[in-house]
Amino acid sequence: MAEENQNPETAPAVEETSTAQAAPKNHQTASQANPEKFLEEFNWHNYEEGIDPIDEDKLDEFEKLVAENFVDTLDDEVVEGTVINITDRDAIIDINAKSEGVISLNEFRYNPDLKVGDKVEVLIDVREDATGQLVLSHRKARVIKAWDRVNKAHEEGTIVTGFVKARTKGGMIVDVFGIEAFLPGSQIDVKPIRDYDAYVNKTMEFKVVKINQEFKNVVVSHKALIEADIEEQKKEIIGQLEKGQVLEGTVKNITSYGVFVDLGGVDGLVHITDLSWSRINHPNEIVDLDQKLNVVILDFDEDKTRIQLGLKQLKKHPWDALSETLSIGDKVKGKVVVIADYGAFVEVEEGVEGLIHVSEMSWSTHLRSAQDFVNVGDEVEAQILTMDRDERKMSLGIKQLSQDPWTDITTKYPVGSRHTGIVRNFTNFGVFVELEEGIDGLIYISDLSWTKKIKHPSEFTNIGDKLEVVVLELDVDGRKLSLGHKQTEENPWDKYEDDFAVGTKHTGVISDVVDKGATIEFNEDIVAFVPGRHLEKEDGSKLGKGDSAEFQIIEFNKDFKRVVASHTSLFREEEAKIVKQAAKKAADSAAASAPTLGDANDALAALKKKMEKGGN
């Protein structure tokens, strides 16, 4: 190479000079004694211009020294460098090049413990900046090597170190070998994480659990390392488990149905019903997260992967601790803890409950919902009605604390007495009326009105209405009252019995015509029926709807409120009377000649004329 750059005419002359002869010798001596100094002091310019000639063997030695001591800065190969200095912003790296390289400390955020003397992998980013200094990149070097390292760590299951850069949806972003890996929230720890931000900017150890080569995604886990550490502890604990054993644990998680307790590597569940002898709405009423407590092992499956724990079992059952002197008839106080349609449960002591059936809440026979009497949280006083210590059951009553209203029923509600009650319920046959709390009476449908024909009680009154009543019957043993409403007024049919007696005559208008006759409304109470054959007029025609005429009452029944009238009977009766009178006259006057048929016809014609005149 040197010979090609030399002038052929001057080259021999130069070789003959003593200086030219000495120069190579000096270079040879320098290169052999101190190759680093030789390379540093070598006159590159003179060599490139051909001013300083060099033998081929010396050139080979030179190229060998360069290859051994200098890095080729044009190659993208990752090389290893040594940290020789650290400033506030940069790390100075020696890679055996003509000059040291510079890397920003931001690229070492994952390694805050970086120090002088550490070996780091670098890639030459810019050959030389304005000052002639190499600019290196540790990040790019890591990326180039990262996938090889990540794949190897995944295959061999080795532990890697990563820097938690930021929080993201569902987990964290972790820098592993320069690659951004995903750390799911469920893989941070064996315990539920409540503060993700506490892990940001922390350096932690991880295990590569999943790699997607197509999309270049990496998933890491810190939990896997912890699980591996506690697996031995877990095996040891599980192997020693026995029913009834009491262990200390830490509350790991609280759910609506129970509490998960960490027993030192293995979890057990305390169901909400096993937390307290008393009823509770949520487990957080009893325990807190991270609370240490003693629990007893109630049961576990054959593989001991599901462990059922108990907390309340560490205390004596409240029924066993219940006072022996407490008995039926005693009064107790308690708090309403549960309400159902059929009654309310009252906690008289912690873990000891009694049921107050809705029928025992009031003397009223009108059963209502328990919520009409008490609410959850109410403090109530009650009397013990039944108690079974073996079955751990107790029934209570509230109404027993007040006097039974039927005790003096004959004094307050004697037969014939008048009262005001409230309509509480209907049946097809009558109305139930409440006179006071616990005293109900029945009004049969027939005792609602003297005059109205009622098919259903709702036609007459409404629920909640006040009604005047009279006590008709009283059955103390059967606790039954028979009431009447119509009896609070005089029976108008007593008067109608005289006013509309059989044979009395009344004028009315045909209000309706039916198949078998017609009806006449003489007043608001009296509606008479006229059979079809009794609608015939004297001229042979029949009365129709809206016709006004005189009628005679031919039937009156007060008990069944039945009134029957007739128009035809008016002139039929008159005809019979005339015939009867004519016969009597003939019998009384023997000397006179017998009355002729013409005499009778004349009398009937006069009657007809009279009736037509009266009808119109």
Element (H, E) at 22: helix 18-33
Q: Compute mean pLDDT per 10 residues along the chain, 616 residues long, and list them.
A: 38 37 42 54 58 61 54 61 91 82 85 89 73 76 81 90 91 88 89 84 92 87 82 73 88 92 86 89 90 91 78 86 85 90 89 90 76 88 91 90 84 90 90 88 89 86 92 87 89 80 88 88 85 85 88 85 87 67 60 53 61 52
At 49, give phi and psi (nearest 5°): -85, -10
* 240-314 maps to CATH 3.40.50.2000: no
Q: What is the predicted pLDDT for the residue at 383? A: 93
Q: What is the predicted pLDDT for the residue at 85? A: 92
Identify the CATH class of 331-401: mainly beta
Q: What is the predicted pLDDT for the residue at 28? A: 45
Determine the residue type at 544: G
Determine the residue type at 394: M
**In a 3-state reduction of DSSP, which class is residue 324?**
coil
Closest CA to 171 of 159, 188, 194, 154: 188
Q: What is the predicted pLDDT for the residue at 179? A: 86
Architecture, CATH, for domain 490-616: Beta Barrel (2.40)
Closest CA to 481 of 515, 431, 527, 524: 431
* 409-488 maps to CATH 2.40.50.140: yes
Q: What is the predicted pLDDT for the residue at 140? A: 81
Note whether 220 and 175 are within 8 A (CB): no
Domain boundaries, the chain: 2-69, 79-142, 157-226, 240-314, 331-401, 409-488, 490-616
Element (H, E) at 174: strand 171-176
Q: What is the predicted pLDDT for the residue at 357? A: 92
The 3-class secondary structure across 32-88, one letter per residue, is: HHCHHHHHHHCCHHHHHHCCCCCCHHHHHHHHHHHHHHCCCCCCCCCEEEEEEEECC
Element (H, E) at 159: strand 159-168
Q: Which tokens in the block code for residue 500? A: 């509309």
Predicted structure pTM score: 0.42
Q: Which residue has the tokens 């008067």?
A: 495
**Non-local CB neighbours of 99 within 8 Å, separated by 6+ positions:** 128, 132, 133, 134
At 242, give phi and psi (nearest 5°): -145, 145
Note whether 282 and 256 are within 8 A (CB): yes
* 79-142 maps to CATH 2.60.120.10: no
Distance, in Å, from the CA atom of 80 to the CA atom of 138, rounded to the nearest integer, reads 10
Note whether 264 and 307 are within 8 A (CB): no
Q: What is the predicted pLDDT for the residue at 19? A: 36
Distance, in Å, from the CA atom of 123 to the CA atom of 139, rounded to the nearest integer, reads 8
Distance, in Å, from the CA atom of 614 to the CA atom of 610, rounded to the nearest integer, reads 6
At 472, give phi and psi (nearest 5°): -95, -45
**In a 3-state reduction of DSSP, which class is residue 529?**
strand
pLDDT tens digits, 474-499: 888 888 899 999 888 888 777 787 88
Same fold, 240-314 and 490-616: yes
Q: What is the predicted pLDDT for the residue at 318? A: 85
Distance, in Å, from the CA atom of 296 to the CA atom of 309, rounded to the nearest integer, reads 6
* 157-226 maps to CATH 2.40.50.140: yes
* CA atoms in the 13 A half-sphere facing the CB of 4: 2
Q: What is the predicted pLDDT for the residue at 43? A: 60
- Mean residue pLDDT of the chain comes to 80
Q: What is the predicted pLDDT for the residue at 47? A: 57
Distance, in Å, from the CA atom of 449 to the CA atom of 431, rounded to the nearest integer, reads 13
Which residues in 411-561 belong to E strands, given as ranges?
Answer: 418-427, 430-436, 439-444, 466-475, 480-484, 505-514, 517-521, 527-531, 548-557
